[in-house]
């Protein structure tokens, strides 16, 4: 009888390389302090940047939506799946992002697949940063467009690729707003200037930038003052906004086109009423409470300086995503395990998420962490860093 020997061999190989990671099961809500296996951890790995997963207004919106509409949305959006809460959420997101329109998808991942596979055709060129998120890479794989990749944030290479793409029907430059593994920010003003010079469209994935970048958390466009100059903005509702889902924001032409063409929109059931309503409430909380964003940045800056003062390599981080770059997968996993034994949870991230020798423990600081939490974490990281020889003893 046939079996999965091939897969089992690959799994065994992952174990030898220190890349095998069993799923950890948590028994408590998202938060600074979380319980797993009966043990409480100080947690630095959630994308719940602003603490909205448990916000009273957001939870209440979900409960009320369930009571009013039930739990399911019945069909895809184009049949009977578009409720007034979906329309209200999309209007709110367009206002939030400063665009004519927005369209909601089941996840940020899906939003990228949907947008890239719809916008791009065989006669187009897509020009992508080498460190763009997997969902961008996968979205590009679904198109017949010519794919060109520039070295991370290299404007020289981007310009060269734009120059040699003049004969394509459309040129689309795609970048993460905040890069999810390194926590650095894309040089969007330079990208936009080059795109304008070479008649290209600009596509920014703000999954880690929405709710984070910009004075009121509106993302890369607000941060750099680029209103009206970015053609496609992708966002997720599952990170800073604390719920689940993704969206595309842009011109009404773009949104109207996606509504007719995007396969995840046409062939996958609409987000549930509770999801749409709680996302709407979350955006409204963010608009009402810009101080959450300020607290997030105060905490991130405090933590990053603290780590650097201890002597850790925090790579290119300039946001609440702070990697501690360690190296090979096994050493990285060991460091993460040591922290966990000491009550600090910070997930290790290894190949293929990052290059083989760039394994890291990635810390995500949130607005909910107190100064005391940050100091406790720094002390714990210092102990583990010395024990592992990452810091001089
Ligand atoms: C997390 C992430 C996504 C996927 O968003 P989900 O809502 O989790 O599917 C897309 N792009 C980037 C850059 C991300 O970091």
Instruction: Domain ranges for the chain, please list them.
Output: 21-49+290-387, 55-288
327-347 burial, b at 16+ Cβ within 10 Å, e below that, comes to bbbbbbbbbbebbbebebbbb
For residue 233, how far is its CA from the centre of ligand 1 (angstroms)?
A: 13
On the question of pLDDT at 100 being above 90, the answer is: yes
Classified as helix, coil or strand, 321 is strand
Q: How far is the CA of 140 from the centre of ligand 1 (A)?
A: 15
Which residue among 104, 238, 323 has the greatest number of ligand 1 atoms within 8 angstroms of its CB, and so is best to mutate?
A: 238
State the fold for domain 21-49+290-387: 3.90.1150
Residue with CA nearest ligand 1 atom 14: 207
pLDDT of 17 over the 90 cut? no
What confidence score (pLDDT) does residue 4 get?
Answer: 95
Tell me what the mean pLDDT of segment 333-357 comes to. 93
> What pLDDT is stored for residue 145 in this prediction?
98
CA of 203 to the centre of ligand 1 (A): 14
User: Could you say which DSSP state residue 390 is in?
Assistant: S
- The pTM is what? 0.96
Whether 117 has a pLDDT exceeding 90, the answer reads yes
Q: Burial of 197 by CB count in 10 Å (0-12 exposed, 13-18 middle, 19+ buried)?
A: exposed
Q: Is 46 known to be catalytic? A: no
Please determine, for residue 20, whether its predicted confidence score (pLDDT) is greater than 90: no
Q: Give the model's pLDDT for residue 18.
A: 79
Active site annotation includes 239: yes
Beta strands in 298-369 (DSSP E): 321-327, 344-345, 348-349, 359-364
Which residue owns the Cα nearest ligand 1 atom 2? 207
| Other Cβ atoms closer than 10 A to 382 | 18
**Which residue from 52, 380, 36, 60 is spatially nearest to 239, judged by alpha carbons?**
52
Q: What local confidence, expressed as pLDDT, does residue 84 receive?
A: 98
Ligand 1 center from residue 11 Cα (angstroms): 26
362 forms bridges with which residues in the sheet?
Answer: 323
CATH 1.10.260.40 fits 55-288, yes or no: no
Q: Which of 165, 180, 210, 336 is catalytic?
A: 180
Q: Among 115, 220, 239, name the best residue to mutate to test ligand 1's pocket (greatest count of ligand atoms within 8 A of Cβ).
A: 239
In this prediction, residue 71 carries a pLDDT of 98
Mean pLDDT of 320-336: 94
Average pLDDT, the chain: 96
Residue range 26-73, pLDDT digits in tens: 999 999 999 999 999 999 999 999 999 999 999 999 999 999 999 999
pLDDT (0 to 100) of residue 55: 97
pLDDT of 393 higher than 80: no
Q: Could you confirm whether 210 is annotated as catalytic?
A: no
Q: Given the residues 223, 239, 358, 369, select the one marked as catalytic.
A: 239
Q: How confident is the model at residue 21 (pLDDT cuts 50, 70, 90)?
A: confident
Average pLDDT over residues 383-391: 93
pLDDT (tens digit, 9 = 90+) per residue, 143-188?
A: 999 999 999 999 999 999 999 999 999 999 999 999 999 999 999 9
Is it the case that residue 1 has pLDDT exceeding 90? no
Q: Which helix (H) or strand (E) holds 86?
A: helix 84-97
For residues 176 and 136, is the Cβ–Cβ distance under 8 A?
A: yes
């Amino acid at each position: 009888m046939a079996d999965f020997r091939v897969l089992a061999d690959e799994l065994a190989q992952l174990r030898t390389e220190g890349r095998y990671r069993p799923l950890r099961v948590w028994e408590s809500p998202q938060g600074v302090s979380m319980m797993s296996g009966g043990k409480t951890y100080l947690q630095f790995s959630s994308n719940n940047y602003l603490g909205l997963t448990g916000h009273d207004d957001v939870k209440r919106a979900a409960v009320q939506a369930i009571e009013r509409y039930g739990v399911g949305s019945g069909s895809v959006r184009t049949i009977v799946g578009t409720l007034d809460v979906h329309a209200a959420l999309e209007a709110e997101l367009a206002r939030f992002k400063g665009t004519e329109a927005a369209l909601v998808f089941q996840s940020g991942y899906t939003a990228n697949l949907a947008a890239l596979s719809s916008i791009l055709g065989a006669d187009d060129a897509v020009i992508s940063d080498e460190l763009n998120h997997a969902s961008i890479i996968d979205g590009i794989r679904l198109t017949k467009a010519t794919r060109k990749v520039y070295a991370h944030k290299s404007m020289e290479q981007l310009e060269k690729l734009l120059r040699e793409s003049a004969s394509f029907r459309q040129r689309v430059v795609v970048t993460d707003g905040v890069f999810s593994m390194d926590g650095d920010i894309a040089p969007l003003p330079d990208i936009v200037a080059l795109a304008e010079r070479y008649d290209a469209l600009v596509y920014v994935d703000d999954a880690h930038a929405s709710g984070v970048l910009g004075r009121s958390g509106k993302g890369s466009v607000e941060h750099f003052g680029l209103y009206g100059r970015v053609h496609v903005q992708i966002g997720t509702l599952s990170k800073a906004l604390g719920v689940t889902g993704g969206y595309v924001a842009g011109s009404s032409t773009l949104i109207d086109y996606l509504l007719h063409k995007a396969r995840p929109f046409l062939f996958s059931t609409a987000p549930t009423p509770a999801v749409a309503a709680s996302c709407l409430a979350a955006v409204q909380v963010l608009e009402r409470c810009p101080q959450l964003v300020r607290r997030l940045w105060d905490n991130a800056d405090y933590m990053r300086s603290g780590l650097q003062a201890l002597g850790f390599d925090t790579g290119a981080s300039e946001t609440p995503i702070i990697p501690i770059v360690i190296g090979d997968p096994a050493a990285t996993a060991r460091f993460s395990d040591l922290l966990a034994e000491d009550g600090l949870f910070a997930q290790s991230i290894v190949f293929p998420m990052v290059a083989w020798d760039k394994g890291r423990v990635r810390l995500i600081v949130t607005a909910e962490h107190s100064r005391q939490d940050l100091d406790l974490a720094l002390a714990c990281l210092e102990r583990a860093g010395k024990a592992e020889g990452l810091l001089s003893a």
